[in-house]
């Protein structure tokens, strides 16, 4: 194992269309009475892609501004992905939203970080209804609770499954699995093949 260093916030100019998106988002948020610096905690440009780190309480207004502002028009949210960084104290769980503007042929990402002890993020279901099953899957595998989701239940694992199997602190193997009545031994107890 080796440590992974996450890139820090990028200073302006960001390059390409990233400055236009940041300016458009700032103007749209100002109209609604929210400052860009208040809602967005970081802008990271890394490997030719931009990620806006959004504070969770401003996720819905930021997403709505990105969708509705004519100069931005990010019509599609391509889902939500969970990431678990157990070493990032107070920001262990991250939800990452890739957005696509078909109108302007642009891609950006929104990222929200929350502590493991309070894994609540507002649901984007009302802004992007296609996030329905994506939010359920992220809840199922990472334990991020999307407040306001119409039916936040497990989608892959059984309802009584303990824990969230995509977290890095989830035990790897050693858990017997029952499949349609058949008992399958944990990986460390199975027969080895030579």
Residues 63-83: pLDDT tens digits? 999 999 999 999 999 999 999
Look up the pTM and report it. 0.86
- Give domain limits for the chain: 18-163
- Report the share of the chain in percent with pLDDT over 90: 74
What confidence score (pLDDT) does residue 106 get?
Answer: 96
Residues 79-120: pLDDT tens digits? 999 999 998 899 999 999 999 999 999 999 999 999 999 999
In 59-105, the DSSP E strands lie at 76-77, 81-84, 93-101
Residues 18-43: pLDDT tens digits? 999 999 999 999 998 999 999 999 99
Q: In 9-152, where does DSSP find H-type helix? A: 18-31, 36-39, 59-68, 132-142
Query: Which CATH topology does 18-163 take?
Result: Beta Polymerase; domain 2 (3.30.460)
Residues 158-178: pLDDT tens digits? 888 888 999 988 877 666 666
């Amino acid at each position: 194992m080796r440590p992974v260093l996450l890139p820090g916030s990028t200073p302006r100019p960001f390059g390409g269309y990233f400055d236009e998106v940041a300016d458009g988002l700032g103007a749209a948020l100002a109209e609604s009475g929210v400052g860009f610096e208040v809602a967005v905690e970081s802008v990271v440009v890394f490997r030719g892609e931009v990620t806006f780190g959004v504070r969770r309480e401003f996720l819905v207004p930021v997403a709505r501004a990105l969708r509705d502002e004519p100069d931005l028009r990010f019509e599609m949210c391509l889902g939500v992905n969970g990431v678990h960084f157990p070493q990032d104290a107070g920001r262990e769980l991250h939800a990452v939203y890739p957005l696509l503007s078909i109108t302007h042929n642009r891609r950006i990402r929104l990222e929200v970080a929350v502590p493991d002890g309070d894994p609540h993020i507002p649901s984007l279901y009302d802004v992007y209804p296609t996030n329905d099953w994506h939010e359920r899957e992220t809840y199922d595998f990472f334990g991020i609770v999307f407040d306001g989701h119409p039916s936040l239940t497990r989608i892959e694992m059984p309802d009584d499954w303990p824990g969230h199997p995509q977290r890095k602190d989830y035990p790897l193997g050693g858990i017997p699995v029952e499949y349609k009545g058949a008992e399958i031994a944990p990986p460390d107890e199975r027969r080895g093949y030579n």
